[in-house]
Structure 1
Amino acid sequence: MLRINNLVLTVTDPDTGQQTEILHGNSFELAQGEALGLVGESGSGKSMTLKCVLGIEPPGARVTGAIELDGTDMLTASGEALRKIRANDLALIAQNPHGALNPVLPVERFLIEGMSDARSKDKKTARVLAADLLRQVGIDDTERVLRSYPHQLSGGLLQRVVIAGAISGDPKLLLADEPTTALDVTTQAEVVAILDEKRREHGLSMVFVTHDLDLAAAVCDRLAVMKDGEIVEIGTPEEIRDHPETEYTRNLMAARPMLYPKGHPAAFLSENKEAQA
């Protein structure tokens, strides 16, 4: 479904002309319906990998290797082909939901215009579908939320709106860039559960970027651990937890805080550890 081979990203300092390699020949594959977690500390190259997939890397950057989505090479596709792929096959869920919506437009404009463009729905039909999507992500007061502006909604509600918008176009691949970073742990649990449920319901593939190893393990089939722009190991959550291959992964696991309350999606790792003790 998604195949990345020997991905290298090089950026150039506009003042000095100095070139710096940010991503160092990374490769991985993602099957249809599979979720892969990109985990690592800040600056390890997780979000930059997503930007390369979307084709929104920094100005002047050079990307080499291959990024194929359903057989289409994203690095050589024409501008028109890329626009169609971004509109129909890809959806981004950003870590800051307030930055994903226009602050001077109500929520209904965000959802309705997206469906009108991606699914060619008339506005009346799109509004009905928008209300249904909001109910699917756990929002009952749909009319109030549709009429609301972003600043009138909490971070948790707004992230649900963004998830509804992401699945509204029936994409093949979800790119989730730390979608729960700005949320408290209780709201995290709700949003992650909804995101995982909708992904499985719609048969979507997902790349889930986070610095939180436990959270990624709760929603992903495999984890790719990144350090300094390089994937240092890939495995199932159980393989990473029980048999980490690198010292970096062991340190990353040792540094993670055990702050999840009982019932949180990521709490099972701590519970398993306690059971094994």
Structure 2
Amino acid sequence: MLRIENLVLTVSDPDTGAETEILHGNSFSVAQGEAVGLVGESGSGKSMTLKCILGIEPGGARVEGVVDLDGVDLLRASGEELRRTRADDLALIAQNPHGSLNPVLPIERFLVEGMTDARGVPQAEARSRAARLLADVGITDTERVLKSYPHQLSGGMLQRVVIAGAISGDPKLLLADEPTTALDVTTQAEVVAILDEKRREHGLSMIFVTHDLDLAAAVCDRLAVMKDGEILEIGTPEEIRDRPQHEYTRALMDARPMLYPPGHEAAAAAEAAREASAAALAEEAGTGAAGGVRGADPAQQEGAES
């Protein structure tokens, strides 16, 4: 569905003209209905990869390679073709929901305008659908929320609103850029579960950007580990967890928060509790639901590891 080959991003210093390569020839693919996680430390190039897909890379940057979405190379598409693809086929869920919403406009305006302006849905139908979408993402008092302004809602509620807006246009590909960073752990689990449920319900593909390996493992079919603008390895969550191939991936695994140091008598119990918590989140998010693609097509994984 999405094929990225040899993606290179180079930016120029506006003062000196010096060029710096940010992404170093990365390749991976996302199948229909599949979720791929981009994981790594801050500055590893995860969000820049999403910007290249959307065509919103920094001004003066040069992007090379192939970004093919269902036969359309987004790097070579015309302006009109790219705008139409963004409106119909792509949806971005940003890490800060406050930045996605106009603070002086009510939630209703945000949801309804996206359907009426971009897709020509009649006003009354768009409003009715907006209310249904809010209900779908777990918001019960939809009328109050539709009339509310962003500052009147919590971060978790706003992220639900953004998810509703993202799926309102039935996109082919969701780009989730650390969508739970600003949320507490409990709200994070709820939002991730809703996001994954809606993705599976609508048969969407997703790229999920995060620095949290456990969170990515709970909602993604495959993980791509990134460092310094390069994809180091790609595998299923089980492969990354149990058989990491790269030293950096092993370091990421070791860097996960631990209640006790290795060798402590309580360390084994703490690790078992952590794995049980991750398994519970995975079950809540529906990762074991029928229709998943994890391990279903070895040829896809072989292509993605190129």
The one-letter code matched in structure 1 to 2:117 is D
- Quote the Cα distance in structure 2 between the aligned partners of 1:270 and 1:131: 27
Q: Distance in 1 between matches of 2:92 and 2:275?
A: 24
Residue 104 of structure 1 aligns to a residue whose secondary structure is coil
Alignment partners' CA distance in 2, 1:193 and 1:270? 8
1:179 counterpart letter in structure 2? P
Shift of 1:265: 9.3
Residue matched to 1:199: 199
Aligned-pair CA distance for 1:238: 0.2
Query: 5+ unaligned residues in a row in structure 1: which ranges?
Result: 272-277
Count of equivalent residues: 270
Which residue of the partner structure matches residue 155 of structure 2? 155
**Conservation of the 8 A alpha-carbon contact between 1:217 and 1:266:** no
Tell me which amino acid in the other structure corresponds to 2:219. V
Separation in 1, partners of 2:176, 2:203: 15
Aligned residue number for residue 218 of structure 1: 218
Contact (CA 8 Å) 1:258, 1:270: kept in 2 or not?
no
- Alpha-carbon offset, residue 118 of structure 1: 3.6
Give the whole-Å Cα distance in 2 for the aligned partners of 1:53 and 1:171. Answer: 14
Amino acid at match of 2:158: L
Q: In angstroms, what is the RMSD of aligned CA positions? A: 1.9
Task: Describe the SS at the equivalent of 2:36.
Answer: strand
Alignment identity in percent?
80
Q: 1:1-277 to 2 correspondence within 5 Å?
A: 1-257=1-257, 267-268=278-279
TM-score (norm 2): 0.85
- The match for 1:275 is none
Q: How far has the Cα of 1:96 moved from its partner?
A: 0.1
Cα distance, 1:268 vs. partner? 2.4
Q: CA deviation at 1:257?
A: 1.9
Give 5+ residue unaligned stretches, structure 2.
Answer: 260-269, 283-306
Alpha-carbon distance between aligned partners in 1 of 2:279 and 2:202, rounded to the nearest angstrom: 25
In 2: Cα distance, 1:160 partner to 1:200 partner: 16
The 1:6–1:107 alpha-carbon spacing in structure 2 relative to 1, beyond 3 Å, is same
Instruction: Measure the CA separation in 2 of the matches of 1:269 and 1:143.
Output: 32
**Alpha-carbon deviations, 1:21-69, whole Å to 9, x = none?**
0000000011000000000000000000000000000000000000000
AA aligned opposite 1:41: E
